[in-house]
């Protein structure tokens, strides 16, 4: 066995040879065995003992991950693997399966080129498998498939070898159908997984064995042999299987053969995730994963280490990073000096002198970095912002139990938002009461618990509050807004945004942000969505699913005020006129302006109020309404509880979309308002004697029933201390 020093030296050598690097993430539904699989892979690589693999949860560093038995944070490790006498460096990211932590998956996928999609043989492809696979495919990450828990087909479902094969083929077909519906057209055929080419493996992470077509043919193993080992519960035969076809070997061989190396992957990934000029020096360097080009690094995770401070984990797409280097934060618009470059060995970090492009690494000593930041050696077009599939829809107030802890809590909340960008925090320094928004109750519970146990601040939280959206039902006509000095007048029109454009923004096909003068890609995309060329060129700002257009002609001073108009438009989108809730699906057009000749009379203090007033007036004219967050759920339970579940769904203003029955088990798709879901977990347990579970499939916003609109608006305004009669 090679010593740790020899391994570290091999890793350092391989980091400089992109063709021998594979960057992978493990993605799956909760409890399908990702962390057990990671343990088995790390044991195979000699990072942990064989005996502890599957129990140690090496990649779950936080106490709450071990106590809850779920992965909450993505975590990195690198390991060596030898195939046919050649060493390879595998950079591995283990990701969470619970939907409340799906933001971790999105960020991990930006750093990887391949995803090991894990599916339970007994349960098949579950809603969260679809969610995480969708996130991977959107980032152009190449999938391979591992069907885990094959032992359950024998022990629990009592299937014979032919039935086992049928079940596995059904899973592969389902996964391929999903890949075909999401993958980019030019990559679709290459990315479908198949038994014949070896891009599918079967096994048991718990028992540390895996097979695919190659190992079955080479070693003459049949499904009948596997069934025989488990049907007789022969522990020796199961151990023999793990020796004959060790999981780490089968799986990492599959990764090496099917996942592209960074140089290959960046050729098709960069045009999707970076919208700068591909013909420029930095563009060419990114496409070629050039270690000699300018530095371009994307941060995907911030971990605050009590000793080392903020550690910025992410992917280096171009150039070489060295200790002491001067770097640029392109979004924060500031210069920083790099103090330390690290590689990962699970929770350990090893300091190295320099690291070239193509690697997943950690940087220390950088202040002011957020997840999604583009860090480079020259000023450059930032990478596309990380687009999370679901938005925070549940909010709690949080305050320090002891007033003396208030300053510490403010700092801790800022740190929490850095570590988990899917958490949204609103600080009110005057009252000391702050709002924290997350994906669901569990998300907020975990964050609050960590603030208490790991950050050492005793906090009190209020009851969960649902975040609604404001929008309009029809076109407003012209709404006027005058500046306080009466020297500037703005005429605005507000209407619902076209469905195709809104969906394209939501899906990340149309990038958010202020529109540059030359935006050929955006204009082409809008044109494909049915927007006229003239209108596409009038787009000025795309923000949180709303758009601002400038339809004025020949206004000389417009370029000087457009940024201020965008600021004010974004302020209204963040806080609408009905109940100061965020807005969605708004299309705001500047129809005409009358501006004072002298710049001193058209500054921010004049422009902001005028724009805010005119957009809000336009929204009232366009019949402003409240939309509520709805979650599409998949409920799994024994058939005999179907009546009880149906009653429960109806009681919570839910709708049943479809029901599938397999034997004495049902799978029910329902739509339910988030406001009615606060006690769903316990209610479902009660209705099914603890045997029912649910998983989130999708999240959308729908119009709140008319009879509830007025009452809800008054409640929210009361809660926020707003004038109820306004």
DSSP codes joined into one string, 483-500: -TTSS-EEEEEEEEPPHH
pLDDT tens digits, residue range 225-241?
888 888 777 788 888 88
CA–CA dist 74, 24 (Å, integer): 12
Please answer whether residues 380 and 327 qualify as being in contact, where contact means their C-beta atoms are separated by less than 8 angstroms: no
Mark whether 122 and 207 lie in a shared domain: yes
Please answer whether residues 128 and 97 qualify as being in contact, where contact means their C-beta atoms are separated by less than 8 angstroms: yes
Inter-CA distances, 26 with 94, 137, 622, Å: 5, 13, 47
For residue 584, the model assigns a pLDDT of 94
For residue 428, the model assigns a pLDDT of 65
For residue 219, the model assigns a pLDDT of 86
pLDDT over threshold 90, residue 495: yes
Mark whether 535 and 431 lie in a shared domain: no
Mark whether 69 and 193 lie in a shared domain: yes
- What confidence tier does 72 reach under pLDDT thresholds 50, 70, 90? very low
Average pLDDT over residues 315-320: 94
Q: Which residue has the tokens 């955006």?
A: 522
For residue 46, the model assigns a pLDDT of 58
Question: For residue 619, what is the DSSP state?
Answer: H
Both tokens of residue 358? 């193509």
CA–CA dist 46, 682 (Å, integer): 42
The CATH number assigned to the domain holding 68 equals 3.40.50.300
Strands 360-364 and 424-426: unpaired
User: Greater confidence, 124 or 316?
Assistant: 316
Q: How far is CA 57 from the centre of its chain?
A: 22
Last residue of a domain, one of 577, 600, 622: 622
Both tokens of residue 354? 């320099």
For residue 74, the model assigns a pLDDT of 40
Does some domain include residue 83? Answer: yes
Does some domain include residue 45? Answer: yes
Mark whether 502 and 588 lie in a shared domain: yes
Last residue of a domain, one of 578, 605, 622: 622
User: Greater confidence, 126 or 497?
Assistant: 497
Q: ∠473-474-475 over CA atoms, to 5°?
A: 145
- What confidence tier does 610 reach under pLDDT thresholds 50, 70, 90? very high
- What confidence tier does 301 reach under pLDDT thresholds 50, 70, 90? confident
Does some domain include residue 43? Answer: yes
For residue 469, the model assigns a pLDDT of 93
pLDDT tens digits, residue range 256-272?
999 999 999 999 999 98
The CATH number assigned to the domain holding 565 equals 3.30.230.10
Q: Residue 3 — left, alpha, or beta (φ > 0 → left; ψ -120 to 50 → alpha)?
A: beta
Last residue of a domain, one of 422, 450, 467: 467
- What confidence tier does 2 reach under pLDDT thresholds 50, 70, 90? low
Mark whether 274 and 319 lie in a shared domain: yes
The CATH number assigned to the domain holding 446 equals 3.30.70.870
User: Greater confidence, 249 or 53?
Assistant: 249
CA–CA dist 504, 626 (Å, integer): 22
For residue 548, the model assigns a pLDDT of 96
pLDDT over threshold 60, residue 165: yes
Does some domain include residue 720? Answer: no
pLDDT tens digits, residue range 95-142?
643 344 445 667 778 889 999 998 988 888 877 788 778 888 888 999
Q: Residue 524 — left, alpha, or beta (φ > 0 → left; ψ -120 to 50 → alpha)?
A: alpha
Q: What are the φ/ψ torsions at residue 337 (nearest 5 degrees)?
A: -115, 130
Does some domain include residue 646? Answer: yes
pLDDT over threshold 90, residue 453: no
Range of the domain at 183: 4-260
Q: Is 26 exposed, middle or buried (0-12, 13-18, 19+ CB in 10 A)?
A: buried
- Helix, strand, coil percentages, rounded to 5, for the chain: 40, 30, 35
pLDDT over threshold 80, residue 303: no
pLDDT tens digits, residue range 174-200?
999 999 988 888 888 889 999 999 999
Computed over every residue of the chain, the mean pLDDT equals 84
Please answer whether residues 132 and 124 qualify as being in contact, where contact means their C-beta atoms are separated by less than 8 angstroms: no
Mark whether 230 and 313 lie in a shared domain: no
pLDDT over threshold 60, residue 416: yes
User: Greater confidence, 57 or 362?
Assistant: 362
Mark whether 570 and 446 lie in a shared domain: no
Strands 546-550 and 586-594: parallel
Does some domain include residue 289? Answer: yes
Q: Which residues contact 16 (CB under 8 A, 6 or more apart)?
A: 291, 356
CA–CA dist 203, 687 (Å, integer): 35
For residue 67, the model assigns a pLDDT of 38
For residue 542, the model assigns a pLDDT of 93
Q: Is 279 exposed, middle or buried (0-12, 13-18, 19+ CB in 10 A)?
A: exposed
For residue 422, the model assigns a pLDDT of 72
Q: Where are the alpha helices (DSSP H) in 622-679?
A: 642-651
Q: How far is CA 238 from the centre of its chain?
A: 37
Total-model pTM: 0.72
Inter-CA distances, 189 with 193, 264, 348, Å: 9, 17, 39
Which candidate, 574, 573, 566, 529, places its Cα nearest to that of 549? Answer: 566
Average pLDDT over residues 373-397: 82
Average pLDDT over residues 655-682: 86
User: Greater confidence, 644 or 416?
Assistant: 644
Average pLDDT over residues 394-412: 83
For residue 99, the model assigns a pLDDT of 40
CA–CA dist 335, 328 (Å, integer): 5
Please answer whether residues 692 and 685 qualify as being in contact, where contact means their C-beta atoms are separated by less than 8 angstroms: yes
Q: ∠297-301-306 over CA atoms, to 5°?
A: 115
Mark whether 565 and 450 lie in a shared domain: no
Q: For the chain, how far is it from start to end, CA to CA, in angstroms?
A: 75
Mark whether 603 and 651 lie in a shared domain: no
Highest mean pLDDT among 6-10, 124-128, 447-451, 667-671: 667-671
Count of structural domains within the chain: 5
For residue 396, the model assigns a pLDDT of 84
Does some domain include residue 381? Answer: no
Mark whether 316 and 299 lie in a shared domain: yes
Mark whether 106 and 42 lie in a shared domain: yes
For residue 346, the model assigns a pLDDT of 53
CA–CA dist 103, 99 (Å, integer): 8
Mark whether 8 and 71 lie in a shared domain: yes
For residue 410, the model assigns a pLDDT of 82
Does some domain include residue 721? Answer: no
């Amino acid at each position: 066995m090679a010593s740790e020093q020899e391994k570290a030296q091999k890793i350092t050598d391989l980091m400089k040879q992109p063709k021998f690097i594979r960057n992978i993430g493990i993605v799956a539904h909760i409890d399908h065995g990702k962390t057990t699989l990671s343990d088995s892979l790390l044991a195979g690589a000699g990072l942990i003992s064989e005996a502890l693999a599957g129990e140690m949860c090496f990649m779950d560093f936080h106490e709450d991950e071990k106590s809850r038995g779920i992965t909450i944070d993505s975590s990195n490790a690198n390991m060596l693997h030898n195939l046919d006498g050649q060493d390879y460096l595998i950079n591995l990211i283990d990701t969470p399966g619970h939907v409340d932590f799906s933001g971790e998956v999105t960020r991990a996928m930006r750093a990887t080129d391949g995803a090991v999609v894990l599916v339970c043989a007994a349960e098949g492809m579950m809603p969260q498998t679809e969610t995480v696979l969708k996130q991977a495919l959107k980032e152009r990450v190449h999938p391979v498939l591992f069907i885990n828990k094959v032992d359950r087909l024998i022990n629990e479902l009592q299937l014979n070898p032919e039935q086992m094969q049928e079940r596995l083929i059904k899973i592969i077909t389902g996964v391929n159908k999903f890949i075909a519906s999401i993958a980019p057209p030019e990559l679709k055929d290459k990315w479908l997984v198949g038994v014949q080419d070896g891009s599918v493996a079967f096994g048991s992470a718990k028992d540390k064995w895996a097979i695919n077509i190659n190992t079955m043919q080479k070693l003459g193993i049949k499904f009948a042999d596997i069934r025989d080992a488990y049907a007789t519960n022969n522990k020796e035969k199961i151990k023999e299987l793990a020796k004959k076809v060790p999981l780490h070997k089968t799986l990492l061989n599959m990764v090496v053969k099917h996942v592209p190396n960074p140089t290959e992957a960046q050729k098709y990934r960069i045009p999707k995730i970076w919208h700068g000029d591909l013909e420029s020096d930095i563009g060419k360097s990114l496409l070629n994963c050039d270690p000699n080009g300018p530095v371009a690094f994307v941060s995907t995770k911030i971990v605050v280490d009590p000793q080392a401070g903020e550690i910025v984990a992410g992917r280096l797409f171009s150039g070489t990073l060295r200790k002491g280097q001067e770097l640029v934060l392109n979004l924060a618009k500031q210069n920083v000096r790099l103090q330390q470059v690290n590689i990962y060995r699970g929770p350990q970090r090893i300091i190295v002198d320099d690291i070239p492009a193509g690697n997943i690494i950690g940087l220390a000593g950088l202040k002011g970095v957020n997840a999604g930041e583009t860090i480079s050696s020259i000023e450059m077009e930032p990478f596309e912002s990380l687009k999370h599939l679901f938005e925070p829809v549940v909010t709690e107030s949080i305050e320090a139990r002891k007033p003396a802890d208030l300053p510490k809590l403010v700092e801790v909340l800022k740190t929490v938002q850095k570590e988990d960008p899917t958490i949204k925090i609103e600080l009110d320094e005057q009252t000391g009461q702050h709002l924290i928004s997350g994906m669901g109750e569990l998300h907020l519970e975990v964050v609050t618990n960590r603030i208490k146990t790991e950050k050492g601040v005793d906090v009190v939280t209020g009851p969960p509050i649902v975040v609604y959206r404001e929008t309009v039902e029809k076109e407003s006509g012209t709404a006027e807004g005058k500046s306080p000095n009466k020297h500037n007048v703005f005429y605005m029109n507000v209407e619902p945004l076209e469905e195709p454009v809104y969906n394209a923004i939501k899906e990340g096909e149309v990038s958010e942000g202020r529109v540059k003068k030359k935006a050929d890609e955006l204009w082409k995309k809008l044109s494909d969505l049915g927007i006229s060329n003239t209108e596409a060129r009038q787009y000025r700002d795309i923000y949180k699913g709303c758009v601002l257009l400038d339809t004025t002609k020949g206004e000389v001073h417009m370029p000087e005020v457009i940024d201020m108009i965008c600021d004010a438009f974004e302020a209204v989108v963040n806080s609408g006129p009905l109940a100061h809730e965020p807005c969605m699906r708004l299309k705001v057009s500047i129809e005409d302006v009358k501006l004072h000749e002298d710049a001193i009379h058209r500054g921010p203090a004049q422009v902001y109020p005028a724009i805010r007033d005119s957009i809000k007036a336009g929204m009232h004219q366009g019949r402003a309404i409240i939309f509520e967050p709805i979650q599409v759920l998949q409920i799994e339970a024994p058939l005999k509880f179907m009546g009880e579940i149906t009653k429960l769904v109806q009681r919570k203003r839910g709708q049943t979309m479809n029901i599938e029955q397999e034997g004495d088990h049902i799978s029910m798709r329902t739509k339910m308002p988030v406001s009615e879901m606060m006690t769903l977990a316990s209610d479902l347990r009660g209705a099914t004697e603890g045997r029912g579970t649910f998983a989130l499939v999708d999240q959308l916003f729908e119009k709140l029933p008319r009879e509830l609109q007025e009452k809800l608006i008054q409640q929210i305004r009361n809660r926020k201390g707003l004038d109820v009669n306004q």
